[in-house]
Amino acid sequence: MSTYWPWWAGAAGLALVTITYTLLTDRSFGVSSAWDRVLHWRSERRIERMDEEFADDRALADALAAATAEHFGTRPGSGSGSGVTTSPPVAYGKPQPLESDSEPTPSESPSAASLRPVPLVTQAALLVSIFLGGLIAAVASGRFQLRFDMGPGFKDLVTADPAAMIGLLFLGGVLVGFGTRLAGGCSSGHGLSGCGRLRPVSIVATAVFFGTAVAVSFLLWKVI
């Protein structure tokens, strides 16, 4: 039976997964957000279909202008009625063109397309890959075993009653899910992607995650 990977190999593997996912999707790596979107796949698919209709920012702006003009009973570009107009804005006599052939500069705000989430199928594939990867690793190492408890250590330290064990695990899962949504991400999103990008909120969230884990572990093994 093989042993666990050394710490540096696991760290390199996690870094490779995070970087590859970011390069392929241009989004931060996160498991809880992927799980949330897959659970609400019907509403997510409706949003994706709406995004497909207005994939071009210019087409979306024109559609909004036409809908606004229709609602207020005016024609796009006219100055009558409610005053809704799509004519170019003017600042101190310098007209701003509606269209430009030049490429946007890095200082400009990102387009709406770059802010859209990755396709739902991509995040579903992420979750399936995590499950299959763990299964393959367990089978290849000879450690695969179907269990309905947390092992002898959990039984000796917490409880050996199967019903109480299931109840505690369910309650723990609910609390983890609540905390993840409250923090705006899980350990993968904040710990891997966020900290890798030096985002202050992710650094604070990760410190709270692991600080609490260390405190609880110390409480269980040294005090109780």
Q: Domain range for residue 64?
A: 1-85+116-146
pLDDT tens column, 178-191: 888 888 888 878 88
HSE-up (13 A, CA, CB side) for residue 178 = 6
- Tell whether 51 is covered by a domain: yes
Q: Which of 40-54, 69-83, 121-135 has the lowest mean pLDDT?
A: 69-83
Tell me if 136 is assigned to some domain: yes
Give a yes or no: residue 184 inside a domain: no
Torsion 98-99-100-104 (CA) sign = positive
Number of domains into which the chain is organized: 1
**54 within a domain of the structure (yes/no):** yes
Q: What percent of the chain has pLDDT over 70?
A: 74
Give 103-116 pLDDT, tens digit per residue. Answer: 444 444 444 444 56
pLDDT at residue 95, rounded to an integer: 47
Is 100 within a domain? no
pTM of the model: 0.58
Tell which wins on pLDDT, 93 or 205: 205
pLDDT band at 57 (very low <50, low <70, confident <90, very high): low
What confidence tier does 224 reach under pLDDT thresholds 50, 70, 90?
low
With 80 as the cut, is the pLDDT of residue 46 above it?
Answer: yes
Mean pLDDT value of segment 88-93: 48
